[in-house]
Amino acid sequence: MVRFIATLAALPAALAIPFTINPYNSIWDHNVRPYKAPGPNDSRGPCPMLNTLANHGYLPHDGRNIERQVLFDALSEHVGIEQSSVETAMANAIILCNFQTGQDCGTTLKNLTLLALPHAFEHDHSFSRGDYKPAWIASPEDFDDNKNFNASIFQTSLDVLEGSSHMNYQQMNQVRLQREALSKQDTYPGWFEESKAIQEFEAGFIFGVMGDFNLPNYISNPQVKVEWWKYWFTNEALPYELGWHRPEPKKDVNFLLSASSRLLAARVTSTPSPLVSGAIGPAVAPVTLPAQVNTITYQLPTGTPYVGPIATEKGLGHNNGNGLFKREPEAQATPAPSAGFVPMNPYAQTLAFSDIAKQQARASARMGLI
């Protein structure tokens, strides 16, 4: 034994180094990297997944100069989202980059923060972010944080689930309606715009990456494991330590379109108010997901997981001195926001500069700013 150890010690360092152990290596993802919190100069935006990828170093950790192909590869390798799912979104991110920088961004998204431009790609009634102009701003020119995770807002999404361990399409549609109702109630008069199709596409992403692959019928009827979803959004980290790993099979654009149309078509059991007309009811006929594939087996990660920081309400959310999310009575008198107008869906339709300008001008006009 002593001779064996001595022989090992004598091995050149170059031979010993390749055997570093990463506790998260699984058959699905061999290059797992631990979470590292963003620093004060790192750029982050309103997308929980892009922030997460940057926090793990799967995208540049500073959240800047993100190459199109680097993003596609990171999504495919680490969260099982295929290029077809995000091709249009990435094209629109670049258009937004051109729009805001006045330069040709080429194939490089200059930073994650520029995605927060309101009523462009970013929209109202998010699951975990505030709206740009809520009721409590002091004047129409003022604005609030529409970019960072907000624990209080996310809690209003989770409240709908009443402690369920899993979320199906119907529950998610109910969450969406709750967020719409609260956002419409708390909006600065004239600001609110309903963005149903965009939000349901994002909800499709949640089903795509946080669907519980341990449940039967995972392929044909995925259900989100709520503790994974909560961990992901709250920490902006992937929930490896909760037994999550990159899902298989990878999710393509057909999965997302199918999931989002089934979400929108899922019949809800109660209807919060106020809602815009048309908020309830299918926007498109539901498409079905691919049939169950029975041959797939999953391997859970082993080893001791790292612990990501758990965000608390401290420092998150808007505090106007009177507590979070004070409601102003005049917000109830919001003018009809969206009659006959449907904002572009940047995951499925290519934006032109004129579309962005038009969407922004609508809200500004309603508020009397132009």
Told to check if 89 binds ligand HEM by CB under 6 A, we report yes
For the CB of residue 355, give the shortest distance to ligand HEM in the complex, in Å.
15
Would you state the structure tokens that stand for residue 326, as one six-digit string?
């004070």
Told to check if 47 binds ligand HEM by CB under 6 A, we report yes
Which of 202, 212, 236, 241 is the binder for ligand HEM (CB under 6 A)?
A: 202
* CB-CB contact of 33 with 21 (8 Å): no
Q: Which is nearer to ligand HEM, 75 or 344 (CB)?
A: 75
Told to check if 123 binds ligand HEM by CB under 6 A, we report yes
Cβ contacts of 54 within 8 Å, gap of 6 or more? 38, 42, 44, 60, 61, 62, 63, 112
With H, G, I as helix, E, B as strand and everything else as coil, classify residue 144: coil
Told to check if 247 binds ligand HEM by CB under 6 A, we report no
Would you state the structure tokens that stand for residue 161, as one six-digit string?
């689930």
For the CB of residue 38, give the shortest distance to ligand HEM in the complex, in Å.
17
* CB-CB contact of 282 with 260 (8 Å): no
Told to check if 182 binds ligand HEM by CB under 6 A, we report no
Strands (E), the chain: 64-67, 108-111, 166-167, 224-225
Which of 29, 42, 82, 122 is the binder for ligand HEM (CB under 6 A)?
A: 122
The alpha carbon of residue 115 and the mean position of all alpha carbons in its chain are separated, in whole angstroms, by: 12
Told to check if 74 binds ligand HEM by CB under 6 A, we report no
For the CB of residue 201, give the shortest distance to ligand HEM in the complex, in Å.
9
Q: Which of 82, 122, 193, 202 is catalytic?
A: 202
Give the Cα separation of 228 and 255 in Å (integer).
20
Give the Cα separation of 222 and 263 in Å (integer).
11
Q: Which residue bears the tokens 């729009």?
A: 99
Told to check if 174 binds ligand HEM by CB under 6 A, we report no
Q: Which is nearer to ligand HEM, 71 or 331 (CB)?
A: 71
Cα angle, residue 308 at apex, residues 245 and 121 outer, rounded to 5°: 75
Give the Cα separation of 259 and 154 in Å (integer).
21
- Active-site residue 313, yes or no? no
Binding range to ligand HEM, per CB under 6 A, among 29-37, 114-122, 303-311, 352-360: 114-122
Give the Cα separation of 100 and 84 in Å (integer).
25
Told to check if 263 binds ligand HEM by CB under 6 A, we report no
Which of 121, 218, 231, 325 is the binder for ligand HEM (CB under 6 A)?
A: 121
Maximum CA pair distance of the chain?
A: 84
Q: Which is nearer to ligand HEM, 136 or 205 (CB)?
A: 205
For the CB of residue 168, give the shortest distance to ligand HEM in the complex, in Å.
17
Which of 24, 35, 46, 250 is the binder for ligand HEM (CB under 6 A)?
A: 46
Give the Cα separation of 366 and 333 in Å (integer).
13
Residue 55's φ and ψ, nearest 5 degrees, are: -65, -30
Told to check if 257 binds ligand HEM by CB under 6 A, we report no
Q: Which is nearer to ligand HEM, 86 or 219 (CB)?
A: 86
Strands (E), 134-235: 166-167, 224-225
Touching ligand HEM, residues 310-369 (CB under 6 A): none
Binding range to ligand HEM, per CB under 6 A, among 123-131, 182-190, 219-227, 318-326: 123-131
For the CB of residue 208, give the shortest distance to ligand HEM in the complex, in Å.
6
Residue 81's φ and ψ, nearest 5 degrees, are: -105, 120
Alpha helix segments (H runs only) across 11-82: 13-16, 48-55, 68-74
Which of 126, 156, 187, 345 is the binder for ligand HEM (CB under 6 A)?
A: 126
Q: Which is nearer to ligand HEM, 23 or 283 (CB)?
A: 283
Report the interface residues with ligand HEM, using CB under 6 A.
46-50, 71, 75, 79, 81, 86, 89-90, 93, 115, 121-123, 126-129, 202, 205-206, 208-209
**Which residues are identified as catalytic?**
202
